[in-house]
Structure 1
Amino acid sequence: MIEKSKQIIKNKAGNLRRKIRDLFRTSDFCVDLLVRFYKVFCKSLRYDEKTRVKIAEQDDVAARRKQGEDVKGTPVVLCLWHDELFPLIYLRKDLDIVCIVSSSKDGAILEKFMRKLGLRTAAGSSRRGGLKALLHAAKLMKDGTVHACITVDGPMGPRHKAKDGAFLLAQKASAKIMPVRLNMENSYAFPSWDKFQIPLPFSKVEVFFGEGFFVTEELTEEYLAVCRKRLEEELTGLLPQKP
């Protein structure tokens, strides 16, 4: 009897999630409300000031181009873990960023959300349309003014294990791999595969950027293994060790 009740509750919850997802897929009004809520929510967060300085270094070319200067920079591929994405998008400022999103029903909602926040998107994943999405992103990045953002263990994990897409993109776009970690002072972690984090209102959010590296060799399995190991080690080493 108890198991039957649990199954009924689980089915109802699943139906509710599908209805909410379909509503956001078909209604621009709902996505607009979500975007407004996100902006207001992120304004309550206390971002570390060193973060803004570091972002300004990458932001300089974009700002100068807005003023009419014909300058070309080196594009970067911002690489982070899937569970730490939420607070990062707000710090985009003048950066022109293309995000790789999953070509799924949930990914379609995320794509619409990101576009309304002013980001570019390329839809694809390791299972479907991934190569096409990466080549499209690389084409956008060729002039050195568009950067990319990839959750390197997404969209389905394994958690904190880097996949190869970022390295292919970096090679095609002559871009630099740049590891990024976010440390949220207080957050709620969802019971999902990635333990996705939402910082609580007014929490401090620190963003750490690694030195990164360029992809300089042919993408053999041996070299990709080296790149994965290096990226994972840099990402692990970015957050301060807790006592």
Structure 2
Amino acid sequence: MKRAILCRLFYGYLKCLEKTVRIQYQQPEQFAFHNIVGFWHEDSFAMNLVLSHISRQGGEVSVLVTADERGEYVQYLLEKAGGDAVRIGYGFCNAGTLKEILKSMENDTRSVAIAMDGPLGPRHIPKKLIYFLSEKSNARLTGVTLSYSRKISLRNRWDHYRIPLPFSRITVRFDDYDVASCQKAPRIRVYQKESECSIMAAGVLE
């Protein structure tokens, strides 16, 4: 019951943001609707707004999320936003799931997105899986970085999880890193403009 209530609360807040937040896209031409998409775990909540935008433009996105309980909240929001959640274990992706992910990339309107440093960090250190997927699917790696005019930052969490506030502005930047690999790993951009509204908080998002 608690889980269902929280999912609805998160979704209600997301719908409020859709109506009140202004989103600016920088370099949208860097996203070709057939990419491996990497974002930082701290931006997971706002990425639902980006996925909704991609879905409205005709793109399809499968997002890799943790298989534990936290993944249930993420999956609920992603599916409401028009995405497709693929649950994977932390630290590995079994061969069957990996094969399905790569198979889905044969669709030229399908992208796969993943929190590069998630689900447990360390912060802003990309996992090798993001490069492996780019190499094996021969799809260009697109980095998505967000900045906020006003937000709440949960500073006690490893990722400093960021939640935009209503009537704020979000800047979404796309960066193209070509087809990447573990041997040819690009330096991923960390782009963030810190606002004054940051708090220490604990609770339901842990």
Q: TM-score, normalised by structure 1?
A: 0.68
Check the 8 A contact 2:148/2:193 in 1, yes or no: no
Partners of 1:47 and 1:138 in 2: how far apart?
31
Q: 1:87 to 1:241 in 2, by over 3 A?
A: closer
Q: Distance in 1 between matches of 2:64 and 2:76?
A: 12
Give me the whole-angstrom Cα distance separating, in 2, the residues matched to 1:131 and 1:102. 16
Q: Is the 8 A contact 1:208 1:239 kept in 2?
A: no
Size of the alignment, in residue pairs?
189
Query: Does 2:170 correspond to 1:205?
Result: yes
Deviation at 1:178, TM superposition (A): 0.7
Q: Secondary structure at the match of 1:37?
A: helix
Aligned residue among 146, 152, 156 for 1:188: 152
For residue 108 of structure 1, the aligned residue among 72, 75, 79 is 72
1:45 maps to 21
1:195 alignment partner, SS class = coil
Counting only pairs closer than 5 Å after superposition, residues 25-174 of structure 1 correspond to structure 2 as 27=4, 31-32=7-8, 34-48=10-24, 50-51=25-26, 54=28, 58=32, 75-92=34-51, 93=56, 94-129=58-93, 132-174=96-138
CA contact (8 A) 1:100 1:150 kept: yes
Higher relative contact order (CA 8 A, sep 6+): 2
Distance 1:32 1:183 in 2: 26
Structure whose CA Rg is larger: 1
Q: Per residue, is there more helix in 1 or in 2? A: 1
Q: Tell me how large the CA RMSD over aligned residues is.
A: 2.7
Identity percentage over the alignment?
21
Could you list the runs of 5+ residues in structure 2 that have no partner in the other structure?
196-206
Q: Secondary structure at the match of 2:37?
A: strand
CA distance in 2, matches of 1:241, 1:39: 24
